[in-house]
Amino acid sequence: MSQRLRASHFAVLSLLLALGLLCPPARLLAQELTKEDWSLLDTFEAHSLSKADQLLAQKQYRVSAAAYESFAQEFPKSKAMPYVLLRHGMSLQLDNKRYEAIRVYNEVLDYFPNAVPYAGAALFYIGQSYAQSGDIEKALKAWREMADDADYRKHSLAAGALNGLADNLLKMAKASEAGVYYAQVAVEFRTRNPEAARYGIEHAVSCYVREAPSEPKLRELYDKAKSFNHDPGIPSEDNYWGRTRQFIRQYGSFAEDQKEQRERYYRYWVGVMEGKRPGDDGFQIDLNDFKLVVDGEKAKWSERLDAQFARGAQDDYGRVIQWISVYKGNKKKIDEYYGKLNFGKMKNPQIISLVKTLFDPVGDGKMAHNAFGYIRPAEMSEPEKSDLERFLWYHDGMLVEQTCAMFADKSAGSMELLRFYGWTHNAAKGVPIADEMTKEPRFAKEAYSQKGELLYDAGKPAEAIQAFQAADSPPQTSWRIADCYVAMKKSDQAVTTYREIENFFADQAPEAALRIAHLYRGTNLKDKYVAELRSIMKKYPKSSQSNLCHEELEVMGYKIGGGVDAQ
């Protein structure tokens, strides 16, 4: 059958499979008879129907199909008839009798179109049955019918059909039409099927921003879906434009040979944004960047940027720092705006923000050092000092040292500096501080651990073992002690340590045993290596390590027999 499909249908089939639309209708079993309909059944009907449902739940599809058919013949006027027909169709579909299933599903639609819980499901599974049989056009027709019906499209199964339709339309370059279906899921299933709604929002945004730009449709989506966020929120103008500008940048990448498409894209969004929110610096900076893509004139970009700054407060140092950031790479303009700063009037958080900006994104360490000198430590809290020195870890070790020296709690400052030296593997500076910090009860364990790491990195595993033993924080330090023994080529001691981990820490046991096996492998003790692999498979059969042992034994050509040969 698949050989007769057109090439384009293969792509659609793959898409539908990925969306779960071709999967067997296991979820149908969740389409239970409503309590109201159950209450309308007499004793004989209820007994007969329960028996058929039980057969279907037990996956006896051929027998359940016969049971539902028998029910329909015996109780033709039963209030449960739409449910019975639906379940009859399910049984046939699950028994791979898809066209028979479609015939029965159509009976639900023909005779009980207003029984929405059952008719909506029947229409969805008509589409699924066609898709499973390779008839993609009829499958999409059924799902489109479901999507276009005011009642059926509210069915819990409709979300998948709508997103599937939209994905297919997008592959056919019908982005505007696809966006309508994505948006429909985003709005109608926002709370009933959040996962499908998030998928719809993400792809509708892509359609309305990139594939078929339409700010009015994007705005409508935002308002009806209650924001673009993961969960519904309170829509606001600031949030809308902040997210929209983010999306314009996100979807604004084009290949080198797509110059025309790039200019058309940015020209559209420049036209949309032009004249709006003149007092919003972030908005105007983004608009200016988008204009640069269109006209390519860097001088005009700079003129517009300066003009925007002139329209706002000149003594707002937060704005000055923002402009320094925007002018990254332009030393002349950075110096110009840096000259507008009055450090005597700046607040400490502003100076710290400036230091961070000068490091990243500006990348001017010398200027950052200069600004750092204006920080007033007495006005900083300990958490603020910690935040600053952690930022500086990635930029300047000298300033890390100076910041740690600012701590009012000198021991806490020294410990932070030790952590930095541990991170940078600086044993020469770190070990002396570690020795001092081991005398401080609240930091002693960590200080010993840090000392052990520094000594290990410095190629002194024997001394590192002493430090890790003093830290006494198993199993973490036990792992590191074993590593030290391995580095010293003392395999027996390493095995003993790994075995202690295995015996006393259940969640770490499979990995400890695997380390032992690999240690045997590394020391050419093949018999012990194989025995340990088998032992792991026997003792920890559900672990990922057991799977690795299985693979390693197979690669070596051994029959897999669990712990048969384990010692």
The amino acid at 31: Q
φ, ψ dihedrals at 42, nearest 5°: -85, 175
Average pLDDT, the chain: 91
pLDDT mean over 423-430:
98
The predicted pLDDT at position 565 comes to 44
pLDDT mean over 321-334:
97
What's 30's DSSP letter?
G
475 or 36, which is more confident? Answer: 475
Nearest to 59 by CA among 28, 38, 102, 17: 28
The amino acid at 286: D
Confirm if 517 and 532 have CB atoms less than 8 A apart.
Answer: yes
Interval 545-563: pLDDT, tens: 999 999 999 999 987 754 4
Nearest to 221 by CA among 196, 248, 195, 240: 240
The amino acid at 545: Q
* CA–CA gap between residue 302 and residue 106 (Å, rounded): 66
Interval 252-291: pLDDT, tens: 999 999 999 999 999 999 999 999 999 999 999 999 999 9
32, exposed or middle or buried, with CB in 10 Å at 0-12, 13-18, 19+?
exposed
- pLDDT at residue 26 greater than cutoff 70: no
Percentage of the chain with pLDDT > 90? 81
pLDDT mean over 398-413:
97
* 348 pLDDT tier (thresholds 50, 70, 90): very high
pLDDT mean over 30-57:
82
Give Cα separations from 435 to 40, 402, 423, 466 (angstroms).
81, 20, 17, 13
- The mean-pLDDT minimum among 32-36, 66-70, 386-390 falls in 32-36
Question: 135-174 burial string, b = 16+ CB within 10 Å, else e?
Answer: bbebbbebbbbbbebeebbebbbbbbbbbbbbbbbbeeeb
Please report the beta strands in 155-222, taking only residues with DSSP state E, as ranges in sequence order: none
Entry pTM: 0.76
The predicted pLDDT at position 301 comes to 98
Q: At what angle do helices 461-471 and 476-487 cross, to 10 degrees?
A: 170
Nearest to 86 by CA among 14, 157, 8, 10: 157
* 31 pLDDT tier (thresholds 50, 70, 90): low
- pLDDT at residue 1 greater than cutoff 50: no
The predicted pLDDT at position 41 comes to 86
pLDDT mean over 450-467:
98
* CA–CA gap between residue 363 and residue 565 (Å, rounded): 61
Interval 166-196: pLDDT, tens: 888 898 899 999 999 999 999 999 998 899 9
* CA–CA gap between residue 221 and residue 233 (Å, rounded): 13
The predicted pLDDT at position 559 comes to 79
- The mean-pLDDT minimum among 30-39, 243-252, 513-522 falls in 30-39
- pLDDT at residue 232 greater than cutoff 70: yes
Number of H helices, E strands in the chain: 31, 0
pLDDT mean over 491-500:
98
The predicted pLDDT at position 561 comes to 54
- Phi/psi zone of residue 342: left (φ > 0), alpha (ψ -120 to 50 degrees), beta? beta
The predicted pLDDT at position 494 comes to 98
* CA–CA gap between residue 200 and residue 179 (Å, rounded): 8
* 32 pLDDT tier (thresholds 50, 70, 90): low
Please report the beta strands in 370-493, taking only residues with DSSP state E, as ranges in sequence order: none
- The mean-pLDDT minimum among 50-59, 210-219, 328-337 falls in 50-59
The predicted pLDDT at position 10 comes to 46
Number of neighbouring beta carbons within 10 Å of residue 181: 28
Interval 63-117: pLDDT, tens: 999 999 999 999 999 989 999 999 999 999 999 999 999 999 999 999 999 999 8
Long-range contact set of residues 4-8: C-beta below 8 Å, sequence gap at least 24 = 4/134, 5/134, 5/136
- pLDDT at residue 16 greater than cutoff 60: no
- Cα–Cα–Cα angle for 16, 232, 160, nearest 5°? 15
Q: Containing H/E element for 494?
A: helix 491-504
- pLDDT at residue 160 greater than cutoff 90: no
pLDDT mean over 6-33:
50
Alpha helices, H only, 40-115 = 43-57, 61-74, 81-94, 98-111
Number of neighbouring beta carbons within 10 Å of residue 305: 20
- pLDDT at residue 333 greater than cutoff 80: yes
The predicted pLDDT at position 25 comes to 53
* 564 pLDDT tier (thresholds 50, 70, 90): very low
* CA–CA gap between residue 454 and residue 466 (Å, rounded): 12
pLDDT mean over 516-532:
96
Long-range contact set of residues 73-78: C-beta below 8 Å, sequence gap at least 24 = 74/48, 75/44, 75/45, 75/48, 78/41, 78/45
What's 327's DSSP letter?
T
The predicted pLDDT at position 305 comes to 97
Q: Under 8 Å CB-to-CB from 178, ≥6 apart: which residues?
A: 165, 166, 167, 169, 170, 203, 207, 211
The predicted pLDDT at position 157 comes to 86
